[in-house]
Amino acid sequence: MLLGCCVDAEHLSHVAESGFDFAELRVESTLPMEKEDVWQRERKRLLSCNVPIPSFNVLLPRGMHVVGPNVALAELRTYLDTVFYRMAELGGRHISFGSGAARNVPEHFERQQAKAQLVDFIGLLASIAEPYSIQVNIEFLNRKETNIILSLKEANEYAKQINKTSVKILADLYHIMEEEEPLADLYQVREHLGYVHVADSGRLYPGSGSYPYHEYFKILREIGYDGPVSVECRWGNIREEMKAAARFLRQFV
């Protein structure tokens, strides 16, 4: 397993010095609304930090929807074509699809139609991602963030239905704990598990709380998971907490 952490672009330089193998950036770091010349300057700046950037999160900006009556497919496609090209230019290999607001099912909207829209959208992601060898990881969230795909098993049903090698699921320890999902559910989704996020109590940095890390990683080893493990948490004193998180996680990774 390789160990990474979710950071803003401004903190890229702290990643390697803190003991991590890679960085995970927000998709907005690709400047999707900027012209190509502006992007190329930013790309050079990001790569100059000499930190691998194989992973991205927060795929969709606020106001862009993939579920409901107001899905703008042409706008979505243009946006996705831009960000996947730019993620690939940074060395991108993983994108998580969480984006709780974008996929939230509106009140009184037919739920089966919402599920069909999600299947279509994730299939679209896969078709755009495959030429770049980018893996799409469906992230289940908790009910404070969205109202659909709220468990490992629910995410797994979408992965099975889409049935593409480029579509996996993401197991986030924070969401597991928030939804009180049994860690044993990891055994049932092993075939499609493609990425792991970690945090600790209160979504603070790993090692600062009481989450069951020993059991979590014991199961990951038993199911043969050997993919990326990335910290997604709320940082306080980011430089000190990154170092502490990396030290804590190295006993498992």
To the nearest whole percent, how much of the chain has pLDDT over 90? 99
pLDDT in tens, 167-197: 999 999 999 999 999 999 999 999 999 999 9
Bridge-based pairing of strands 193-198 and 135-139 is: unpaired
**H-only helix segments in 68-211:** 73-89, 100-103, 111-129, 152-162, 173-178, 185-188
Write down the pLDDT at residue 158. Answer: 98
Write down the pLDDT at residue 162. Answer: 96
Write down the pLDDT at residue 189. Answer: 98
Write down the pLDDT at residue 214. Answer: 98
At 159, is the pLDDT very low, low, confident or very high (cuts 50, 70, 90)? Answer: very high
> Of the candidates 109, 30, 96, which has an alpha carbon nearest to the alpha carbon of residue 67?
109
Coil, strand, or helix at residue 139?
strand
Q: For residues 78 and 82, what is the distance between their CA atoms, to the nearest angstrom?
A: 6
Q: For residues 121 and 67, what is the distance between their CA atoms, to the nearest angstrom?
A: 9
Write down the pLDDT at residue 33. Answer: 95
pLDDT in tens, 56-77: 999 999 899 999 999 999 999 9
What is the set of domains in the chain, with CATH numbers? 3-249 (3.20.20.150)
The pLDDT of 103-122, averaged and rounded, is: 97
Mean pLDDT of the chain: 97
The pLDDT of 224-241, averaged and rounded, is: 97
Q: For residues 56 and 89, what is the distance between their CA atoms, to the nearest angstrom?
A: 12
- What is the DSSP code string of 173-227? HHHHHHTT--TTHHHHTGGGEEEEEE-BGGGB-TTSS---HHHHHHHHHHTT--S
Write down the pLDDT at residue 126. Answer: 97
